[in-house]
Amino acid sequence: MAELKIERHFKADPAMVFDFVTKPEHLAKWWGPEGMTLPQCALDFTKPGRWFSVMQNSDGKEHKVSGQITKVDPPNSVGFTWAWHDENDVRGNESFVTLTISAGQGGGTDFTLHHQQLPSTEAADNHVIGWTSSLRKLERMGN
């Protein structure tokens, strides 16, 4: 099993960043890599429950991922499971994501994305690319 950790600093305060990473109206603006659209999604990380998103690239290819929100600790963290679906809509390997938010030294917010139990180093490397692209969109909102 592999894992990844990505850290960022935002100028916005922790409560605002927590809203950006949990509330549906904000999640839909940054979720998924740059260049992808979200033709279908149920993204509400404000409370435990199911979530899913269908990301579509410019060629029209769709990529579905889903899971369960397992932990919501405002304004500190949110945790959820993560599994890609295959072409038959069957969920694959389940991994775990934790988003942690804390006050940064000198102001702003320190943000950490920790994605664990990915099936391989290659899967972790691919997720680093996707998460990094998504977080660039979040950075534009939070800075």
User: Domain boundaries in the chain?
Assistant: 2-142
Name the nearest CA neighbour of 78 among 117, 45, 111, 31. 45
pLDDT beneath 70: ranges in the chain? 142-143
pLDDT at 141: 84
Query: How far from the centroid of its chain's Cα atoms is residue 1's Cα?
Result: 19
pLDDT at 43: 97
Q: What is the pTM of this model?
A: 0.95
The DSSP 8-state label assigned to residue 104 in this structure reads P
Q: Tell me the one-letter amino acid at 46.
A: T
Q: How do beta strands 109-118 and 95-103 pair?
A: antiparallel
| Domain 2-142 class in CATH | alpha beta
pLDDT at 117: 98
pLDDT at 85: 98
